[in-house]
A and B are shown apart, each in its own frame.
Chain A
């Protein structure tokens, strides 16, 4: 089909270019099929089992795929966000075997057999978990893009303090760590919110922590 819209093309038409690419891509696919099952191809992919929000998934992943992209692109659990893909923003925070991680910094193949909780596993509208509900009532977000990561970290931060794991602002390493505003802020600082909802996030976390105490 000729393109109904004419680009003014300098070197070759986009259509011609496309056709050439399509032909090349068929050839490449055929080549890839020949290789299927060979050692080289097997090394590029791995079969893994992941339990996500209580459901087990058996999937074949490209060895380069991050846990974040498996969640978002393969399992369509897009609640876990990609803000930077470099471990610099916290938007991709989720819980793996009970600990928070930046899922963009971790390859999926490293998680064979792991148990992952994403934001979708915390609660849905109508049955929000207490932290999600507190984020709504304290208006602890604006655009909402950092929010799933903030909520995942918020759960983890309360747990880490209760487990006696010290932070940069813990002054006495031998005493029981108090759940102070300074401790919460410090431990939440890997989760950036460009909308600047930090004080409301702090209020939400503090309320949940007090209710649980």
Chain B
């Protein structure tokens, strides 16, 4: 089915199930421990052995030699393969660091060997016996700030509108500040893990934890130089991804090599301390944000220049991602610089670019409001736009940012905020309020599915994944809606490369794209059923298929009806800019003596088209708010600039938000529907919740204390010097 014009009135406008709250259909399996994650598939193949990785202990250089004799002789060991044993493997899709093979070390904890043994303990013990001799590469420069200083002003701007210099010279108010964001780890609770059976060196079966089945299947084929048809990949449950499981990683590669070498299936999970330096992360950014405004608050110039680290060939973290699109302005200059550094691979994490970029832009907007003596909400309202500011002929498909701001301000009680910082105190606590806007693009990707009606039961098969986002449930809601069935009459089968290729889960495109794909498949199934029954223009409701005076219960239909279809997206969408919007409001308390910050309450107002399931969508939002509170207050991959690796590579040293950090959270969805986005008029929500939340908290901390911190995370040491004297 092709989606080639904005959706008209359709069945989703008067839906029974779509857009209504529903409990997760995979919930009972998850709460009883029966949902099988990658490392747990004892059921799929006999004789699984255990793999354990060995990682490089230098940031870059060459391996001169490795001693594996002790490991080979260790009890239970079935195979040892080192990176020196094979030539460099080809790079999979959007991988820039080599996952295995050859003597070159590109980053710390790059995999250099895999040990396969009868038990986990034996594999781990033997891995510890392997030693490597290195020739360390030339000393590297890890100073991102200095690199930015060198690079700023260089290169062609990514976006250029008008003459910013003139705008800045004649502005009534100007902000010009530097912001720094730290490297951040996805730190999903389930470490990357795979079971691979490549025993015979031909057909490869992979049970893994991955967001993008088809991409990763292709990457495996590329990496090993084999026909993708020989690779079958399954990932029905994913214990958190956040972008960290978009790509092929070392767990699957090492398990495959181990399996090949041992002639048996091998299971391998990355040990937790490997996750931060062996896999990908959100790279640190250095940002200079310059804003110019007229006295009424209208932006006359936006100048956003940023730098981020990456291995050569990578994309870094583009902190300017939102800037060309968010606010109306007369002039604009935007540039993202990538600085090559031999660090672990920088890659996508939840709202790549925007999550870090909002820390610069939305704190700068707060600073501009103060310079103008204007309310920060009002400043954003006067700079709203209904067209792409960097391409004014392109309208937004739908944009209700002002409604987000107004609704949120009202619900939060924004009018109680004192514009002067440091005015409210409760005992030892300084209280402040802050807000920020949120912008995230919402791409839609083609997505396919198979719909089967077999002896009255509806089965949906698609390689779409559920990474906690609620795919099982929203896809079942969609299928049941279209077929006139109830939710429990649908069986969902996800995350298997045997099923039709879907959008996959990433870039907040998953739910909107894959529900459209399931809609297409179910409409095709309706056609198939009607044709075989000889029904003209059949209608499907209450479990019946009806045409004129004839009707039959779907439950009574004998035999198997099957249809495969894909929703493709027509070019008409290019005429519009598709995006989601939000406004986040936070109240914080900062301890006057210690600088401890508590986020006492938050309200987020969200404009993301039709909300397919308010229950699971709300969880996406509060999850994003929680991740952002950790991100702004405590998360930082601490870089050892001497040795070139992230030091705090476990969950004790890398501090994510815990229960005690999360107090009151409220989410308000605007009741909108974007007919340009998909036939269901839905957009993404998963990444919007990490755009702007951190900035709202930082702005609230400033309002509480009068201390403006521009280096994140906003740890106690960055506040202490500026706090008022203890009274």
Contact = CB atoms under 8 A, between A and B. Distances in A.
A80 B39 CA distance: 12
Interface stretch (B76-84, B280-288, B305-313): B76-84
Nearest to B21: A139
A139 B226 CA distance: 42
B205 to A, nearest CB: 15
Interface string A7-49: 1111110100110011011001000100000000000000000
Given A86-B272, A196-B623, A145 B239 contact: yes
A185 interface: yes
Contacts of A142: 240, 468-470, 616, 619-620, 623
A178 B95 CA distance: 52
Nearest to B83: A10
A15 B140 CA distance: 38
Contact of B226 (A5, A11, A83): A5
Interface string A175-198: 000000000111011111111111
Q: Is the interface of A mostly helix, strand, loop or mixed?
A: loop
B652 interface: yes
Contacts of A24: 72-73
B31 A143 contact: no
A4 B202 contact: yes
B87 A9 contact: yes
A42 B513 CA distance: 58
A100 interface: no
Size category, B interface: 35 or more
Given A7-B87, A8-B87, A197 B31 contact: no
A17 B226 contact: no
Interface in B438-485: 467-470
B622 A18 contact: no
Interface in B99-135: 102, 119-122, 125
Contact of A143 (B81, B262, B467, B659): B467
Interface in A99-122: 118-120, 122
A142 B618 CA distance: 11
A62 B72 contact: no
B40 interface: yes
Contacts of A96: none
Nearest to B263: A18
A151 B33 CA distance: 10
A139 B239 CA distance: 16
Most chain B CB inside 10 Å of its own CB: which residue of A11, A24, A198, A201: A198
B23 A139 contact: yes
B87 A136 contact: no
A186 B660 contact: yes
B269 interface: yes
Interface stretch (B5-13, B149-157, B185-193, B411-419): B185-193
Pick the most buried of B26, B242, B272: most chain A CB atoms within 10 A of its CB.
B272
Contacts of B492: none
Contact of B23 (A17, A82, A89, A136): A136
A183 B239 CA distance: 28
A184 B37 CA distance: 28
B33 A77 contact: yes
Contacts of A191: 658-659
A171 B385 CA distance: 52
B239 A189 contact: no
Interface in B44-97: 72-73, 75, 77-81, 84-87
A137 B122 CA distance: 42
A89 B626 CA distance: 16
A193 B652 CA distance: 14
B724 interface: no
Q: Which of A4, A83, A144 has the most CB of B within 10 A?
A: A144
Contact of B33 (A6, A25, A118, A199): A118
Given A120-B34, A135-B31, A194 B78 contact: no
B261 A143 contact: no
A78 B193 CA distance: 14
A78 B186 CA distance: 23
Given A145-B239, A200-B622, A25 B78 contact: yes
B237 interface: yes
Contact of B73 (A9, A28, A146, A186): A28
A83 B273 CA distance: 11
A34 to B, nearest CB: 13
B619 A200 contact: yes
B28 A83 contact: no
A148 B201 contact: no
A32 to B, nearest CB: 6
Contacts of B560: none
A79 B32 contact: yes
Contacts of A17: 79, 81, 85, 261
Contact of B121 (A64, A184, A194): A64
Contacts of B659: 184-186, 188-189, 191, 198, 201-202
B720 interface: no
A125 B29 contact: yes
Contact of B77 (A25, A82, A144, A189): A25
Interface string A70-91: 0011001111111111101101
A189 B260 CA distance: 42
B33 to A, nearest CB: 2
Of A5, A65, A77, A202, most B-chain CB atoms within 10 Å? A5
A125 to B, nearest CB: 4
Contacts of B27: 135-136, 139, 141
B40 A196 contact: no
Given A10-B102, A79-B32, 19 more contacts: A5-B202, A5-B225, A7-B87, A10-B84, A14-B81, A14-B85, A14-B257, A17-B81, A25-B77, A82-B39, A89-B189, A91-B189, A122-B32, A132-B32, A135-B27, A145-B188, A186-B660, A198-B622, A200-B619
23 contacts: A1-B201, A3-B201, A5-B202, A8-B86, A9-B85, A10-B102, A17-B261, A24-B73, A62-B122, A80-B33, A81-B189, A125-B28, A125-B32, A126-B28, A135-B27, A142-B623, A144-B26, A144-B237, A144-B239, A188-B659, A191-B659, A194-B188, A194-B189
Closest 4 CB pairs of A and B: A79-B33, A196-B626, A145-B239, A142-B468
Interface of A: 1, 3-12, 14, 17-18, 21-22, 24-25, 28, 32, 62, 64-65, 69, 72-73, 76-86, 88-89, 91, 118-120, 122-126, 128, 132-133, 135-137, 139, 141-148, 151, 184-186, 188-202
